[in-house]
């Protein structure tokens, strides 16, 4: 966009005495807009302070019942914090379960035996038929 200069005969006396061409925007409306913005900020601050004051005056909530005071427990599994230690613990429990002897159901005659012994018995005696199974 090109701007054009005024010709010397088109310049007013006011422009000649100021030594420059005055702007098109009068300062008074700009001042009013600035004061309006400042008043708006003060109004929003006063409303916010009023809400804070009203909120502070509310009574304290009633004490929690024992059931409400218990922390909530998630149904999802907990996150792993240190995977190698968790894995080692799982493997140790599984290893202990595979290599110990204990009764599973004494009246029915079911017993847990070490895995090596169970494989050896299965290899020597074969898989039991349905009639032979307890």
Task: Please indicate whether residue 65 or residue 49 has the higher confidence score (pLDDT).
Answer: 49
pLDDT of res. 78 = 75
Q: Cα(19)–Cα(13) distance, rounded to whole angstroms? A: 10
Tens-digit pLDDT profile for residues 21-49: 666 677 888 999 999 999 999 999 999 99
Q: Cα(70)–Cα(54) distance, rounded to whole angstroms? A: 31
Nearest to 113 by CA among 129, 99, 134, 95: 99
Is residue 103 predicted with pLDDT exceeding 70?
yes
Confidence of residue 83 (pLDDT cuts 50, 70, 90): confident
Question: Would you say 114 and 100 are in contact if contact means Cβ atoms under 8 Å apart?
Answer: yes
Confidence of residue 2 (pLDDT cuts 50, 70, 90): low
């Amino acid at each position: 966009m090109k701007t054009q200069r005024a010709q010397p005969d088109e310049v007013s006396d006011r422009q000649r005495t100021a030594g420059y061409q005055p702007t098109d925007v009068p300062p008074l409306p700009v001042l009013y807009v600035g004061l309006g913005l400042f008043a708006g900020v003060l109004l929003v601050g006063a409303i916010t302070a009023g809400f804070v004051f009203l909120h502070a005056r509310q009574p304290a909530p009633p004490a929690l019942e024992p059931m409400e005071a218990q922390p909530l427990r998630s149904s999802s599994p907990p996150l792993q914090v240190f995977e190698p230690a968790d894995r080692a613990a799982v493997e140790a429990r599984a290893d202990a379960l595979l290599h110990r002897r204990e009764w599973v159901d004494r009246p029915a005659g079911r017993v847990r035996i070490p895995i090596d012994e169970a494989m050896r018995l299965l290899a020597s005696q074969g898989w039991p038929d349905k009639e032979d199974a307890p």
